[in-house]
Amino acid sequence: MSYQALLTSLDNGIFTITINRPDKLNAINKTVMDELKLAVEEVYNNPAIRSAIITGAGPKAFIAGADITEFMGLSKEEGMAISKKGHDIFFAIENSPKPFIAAINGFALGGGCELALSCHFMIAAENAKFGQPEVNLGLIPGYGGTQRLVQLVGKGRAIEMLMSGRTITAQEALQIGMVNEVVPAENLLARVTEILTLINSKAPIAIAKVIECVNKFDHSRKGYDHEIEQFGECFATEDMKEGVTAFLEKRKAAFKGN
Ligand code: COA
């Protein structure tokens, strides 16, 4: 399978998916999302694939978020539709019987942080930065961030990140249990490959059952469905239009609360 916005490779059962829009810090546009769906299907369907890595092209970013340029002028229903589409793909990653590790090689913001959260765990380069800056745009996370971040780092840490939009360093992410390890950037893919090589040496059915059982911990989609609704409602606000316009005009947003 060949992709426009992704690079993929398969070595020793490890499938590497690289989001490849480095000039836009690998922001997730419609093409990236559509192709990510196909790449995840490839992981499910290709028996030669034992596990997967998701990473970003270039030295600066894993993924700097959803592509904000595609948000302008969307209605509540359209906002809900992109949220629902992302949820389905990210659920497929989370519930994949084959492990996904996020190799975080720079900014993992907004939808990029949420994609990383949907992977089974994360390994970060020393220059990685994490954040859910949607509130700066008059938005909330729309790809599961309000649910998965709380599960991973606990309510206090998560709600502070979600309300402040603050970006945290790789070291802070390690300290709060968001990432499993921090390694020098040049060793990132080698370290993730080493971890997956160990996991790939185990019984595949047992690995699939570990994932399935761990994910049963909270199987309800209630919180996620509520997130879709609330994400959509943000698109009906003036503040969201102001937030997105301000980003595009490279200025600070002036929010009015409407
Ligand atoms: N959507 C669309 N384009 C994005 C983007 C996004 N989420 N993040 C970065 N880009 C684009 C920039 O607009 C810029 O494009 P240009 O060269 O055509 O102007 C390019 O990627 C490089 O980004 P730039 O902002 O110049 O890099 P920087 O080093 O000064 O800043 C960030 C890096 C990550 C701090 C900054 O890009 C940023 O704040 N991005 C948005 C993060 C965000 O809010 N994500 C959540 C979206 S819901």
Where does the pLDDT of residue 216 fall: very low under 50, low under 70, confident under 90, or very high at 90 and above? confident
pTM of the complete model = 0.94
Entry field: residues in the chain: 258
Q: For the beta carbon of residue 121, count every other beta carbon within 10 angstroms.
A: 17
For the chain, percent of residues with pLDDT exceeding 70: 99
* Cβ of 114 below 6 Å from ligand 1: no
User: Which tokens hold the place of 1?
Assistant: 């399978």
Q: How far is the CA of 214 from the centre of ligand 1 (A)?
A: 34
Contact 21, 65 (CB under 8 A): no
| Residue pLDDT, tens place only, 105-146 | 999 999 999 999 999 999 999 999 999 999 999 999 999 999
Mean confidence (pLDDT) of the chain: 96
pLDDT for residue 60 is more than 70: yes
Question: Closest Cα partner for 85 from 20, 30, 40?
Answer: 30
Which H helix or E strand runs over 223? helix 222-234
* Cβ of 24 below 6 Å from ligand 1: yes
- So where are the chain's domains? 6-188+195-200
What mean pLDDT comes out for the span 222-241? 91
What topology does CATH give the domain 6-188+195-200? 2-enoyl-CoA Hydratase; Chain A, domain 1 (3.90.226)
Q: Is 104 helix (H, G, I), strand (E, B) or coil?
A: strand
* Cβ of 144 below 6 Å from ligand 1: no
Q: How far is 215 from 197, CA to CA, in rounded Å?
A: 22
pLDDT for residue 219 is more than 70: no
